[in-house]
């Protein structure tokens, strides 16, 4: 949680930096691979589709902890850092961004969604598939896992609502800049899009389509596997 990281920096550092670094060190000592899920939050948002080689410019403490963790973890040659942003059905104790959208609209609630913050997320099922394939390739260092198109949080929410046959008119396009001033929110990048060229070349993939992934999410909503995940407390 970005706001909580800013309020409790000591705890944020312990969770986001110290623990992953200790795990990476242990994995290195016993000779097994270490995979660290990083973030798309590491840049200042002044350009589109950040590459793995672009200089990081963290704007808040959450991003700073991720940058610091990456720096420490990359000291170990058996480590893989994946920068990503994912959606999908989550457990009761930690509902995802897509869960929040779907459940709010199902209840008939209005929701405010940023129309000036951009990303290119992936379905968590696809993410896990890509991670397994990357690990089998014995690739280490940093790699982005993202979909092809840049879209705003609002555009994503509307796509999700339409696929799940929910009332997308309940989604209110909201400017982060205005909301930040009103609610004193922590500064964050407005453009978090990641380039997936390296991933597609590595796995020989032509397209990573957001509409296909939202459709997969919709089709999986009643599967035994997903229902069991959603019940976890």
Supply the pLDDT for residue 222: 65
The 10s digit of each residue's pLDDT in 150-196 is 999 999 999 999 999 999 999 999 998 887 777 778 899 999 999 99
Secondary structure of residue 164 in the 3-state scheme: coil
Distance CA 137, CA 131 (A): 10
The neighbouring-strand residues paired with 19 are: none
How many angstroms separate the first and last alpha carbons of the chain?
Answer: 19
Distance CA 173, CA 78 (A): 43
Residues of the chain with pLDDT under 70: 222, 225, 227
Supply the pLDDT for residue 179: 78
* Nearest CA among 8, 3, 216, 29 for reference residue 128: 216
* Nearest CA among 55, 40, 199, 207 for reference residue 117: 40
Which residues lie closer than 8 Å to 31 by C-beta, 6 or more apart? 78
Supply the pLDDT for residue 184: 76
pTM score, whole prediction: 0.92
Q: How far is CA 222 from the centre of its chain?
A: 23
């Amino acid at each position: 949680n970005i706001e909580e990281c800013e309020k409790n920096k000591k705890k944020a550092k312990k969770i986001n930096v110290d623990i992953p670094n200790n795990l990476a060190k242990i994995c290195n000592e016993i000779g097994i691979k270490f995979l660290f899920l990083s973030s798309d939050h590491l840049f200042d948002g002044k350009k589109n589709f950040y590459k793995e080689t672009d200089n990081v410019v963290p704007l808040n403490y959450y991003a700073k902890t991720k940058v610091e963790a990456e720096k420490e973890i990359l000291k170990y040659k058996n480590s893989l850092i994946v920068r990503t942003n994912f959606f999908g059905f989550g457990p009761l104790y930690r509902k995802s961004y897509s869960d929040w959208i779907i459940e709010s609209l199902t209840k008939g609630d209005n929701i405010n969604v940023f129309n000036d913050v951009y990303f290119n997320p992936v379905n968590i099922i696809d993410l896990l598939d890509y991670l397994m394939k990357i690990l089998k390739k014995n690739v280490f260092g940093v790699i982005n896992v993202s979909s092809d198109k840049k879209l705003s949080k609002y555009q994503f929410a509307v796509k999700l609502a339409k696929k799940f046959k929910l009332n997308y008119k309940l989604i209110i396009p909201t400017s982060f800049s205005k909301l930040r001033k009103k609610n004193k929110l922590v500064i964050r990048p407005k453009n978090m899009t990641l380039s997936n060229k390296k991933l597609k070349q590595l796995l020989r993939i032509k397209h990573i389509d957001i509409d296909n992934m939202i459709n997969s999410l919709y089709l999986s909503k009643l599967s035994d596997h997903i229902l069991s995940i959603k019940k976890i407390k």
